[in-house]
Amino acid sequence: MHEFKYKNNRLYCEGVSVEKLARKFGTPLYVYSYATLIDHYSKLKSAFRQINPLICYSVKANSNLSILKALVSKGAGLDIVSGGELFRAIKAGCPAERIVYASVGKTDGEIRVSIKRGILSFNVESIAELENINRIAKIFNKVANIAIRINPDVEPKTHKFITTGKLTNKFGIDFNSAYEIIIQRYKFTNLNICGLHMHIGSQITEADPYVAAILKLASFIEKLKGQGINLKYLNIGGGLGIVYDKENPQTAEKFAQRILPLLKKTGLKIIMEPGRFIVGNAGILLTKVLYIKSTPVKKFVVVDAGMNDLVRPALYDAYHQVLPTSYVPCPSSYEKVDVVGPICESADYFAKERKLPYVLAGDYLAVMSAGAYGFSMASNYNSRRRAAEVLVRGNKAFLIRRRETFTDLIRDEIIEP
């Protein structure tokens, strides 16, 4: 469910016509719905209300400060993966005790500031990292909270690039090694190993892989209890899938029905790290048609957004619905086209062989479900300025990031004297 709907054949974000936004702010333009964002957060929160989990929104999905602030002010914590994301989390007003930090490659500097700030937990991915955090915590005479990221070796049935919980992936620690670490935890004088973490992949549309992984973690937790070791936290990661095309992902309620009993049994405080589920369908990318190009074999709709704005189709062959912002309900006017960007790569496309209503240069199109991993993966490739972002609340639209300027493009460059 989301708040992008046609009214009188015009696409609206909540109470605002998106065409009006395109004219006012220019294109390419990311448009987010506040109501959708908060609704998705609340759906998860309410589905799991019996255990009151800490929902740490995954900043990487969309790291705009206004998005972070909106969620933090509703009680969300944040899941970060870099010093830059920690900086954003603090700027958005997130209390350190609601921040969890995952990444296989945390630098000394990143570890240092996180310890100084007193984040809730480091999700640790290797023994070398554990030793390093212990060393740095000792220098500051602090004790850092640690959750061991377990690699449960389960198949999440998603794209191979976003599968993370198989032993062949670089993420997490296998059960045997984790057991050894926890048994010998007294060796790490400045660490409090108090949790387990897992994140098995992204865009997972069914509960089975989670059930499989949680069952493995639950029996590991029991094994530790048998040794008199009682942990405090279980972080089950993110990964909940959304509708892009014809997927039929589980709802938050259905997901909760399946895993709540398992989570309750552990007796631990539950943390979750959803990104896409919260923000994916809360955003669209608006783009303008520049040219219609017909070749002997194809018709191309050339638009002003490119793979630098939204890389998901190029990178994962991902499907995004493409909708006209003014809808003409006439079936005979549909035709099969490729919607492509202006970038010098054949992977620069948004839709291939897609049935779209007849469009003309100057029309606007909406690339749907672009709220997650859209702007946050945008680049300046082809020296393109990154798009502006707008947040709609009811009948009001707020510019939450201005369009980059040409000066921004060269701001950090130094011409050799």
Contact positions vs ligand LLP (CB under 6 A):
58, 60-61, 79, 102, 162, 199, 202-203, 237-240, 273-277, 312, 316, 372-373
Question: Between 208-226 and 252-266, two packed helices, what is the crossing angle to 10 degrees?
Answer: 10
Q: How far is the CB of 367 from ligand LLP (least distance, A)?
A: 13
Q: How far is the CB of 19 from ligand LLP (least distance, A)?
A: 27
Q: Which residues of 287-306 are buried (b: 16+ CB within 10 A; e: fewer)?
A: bbbeeeeeeeeeeebebbbb
Cβ distance to ligand LLP smaller for residue 27 or 202: 202
Cβ distance to ligand LLP smaller for residue 60 or 354: 60
Q: How far is the CB of 190 from ligand LLP (least distance, A)?
A: 24
Residues 388 and 282: their CA atoms lie apart, in Å, by 16
Of the listed 56, 94, 194, 344, which one is catalytic? 344
Cβ distance to ligand LLP smaller for residue 15 or 206: 206
Residue 13 among the catalytic residues: no
Neighbours of 49 (CB within 10 A): 11
Q: How far is the CB of 16 from ligand LLP (least distance, A)?
A: 26
Q: How far is the CB of 68 from ligand LLP (least distance, A)?
A: 14
Residue 339 and residue 263 in contact, taking contact as beta carbons nearer than 8 Å: no
What are the two backbone dihedrals, phi and then psi, of residue 190, each rounded to the nearest 5 degrees?
-110, 25
Cβ distance to ligand LLP smaller for residue 237 or 341: 237
Residue 163 and residue 203 in contact, taking contact as beta carbons nearer than 8 Å: no
Q: Which residues of 63-101 are buried (b: 16+ CB within 10 A; e: fewer)?
A: bbebbbebbbeeebbbbbbbbebbebbbebebeeebbbb
Cβ distance to ligand LLP smaller for residue 238 or 249: 238
Q: How far is the CB of 236 from ligand LLP (least distance, A)?
A: 10
What are the two backbone dihedrals, phi and then psi, of residue 78, each rounded to the nearest 5 degrees?
-130, 140
The catalytic residue positions are 344
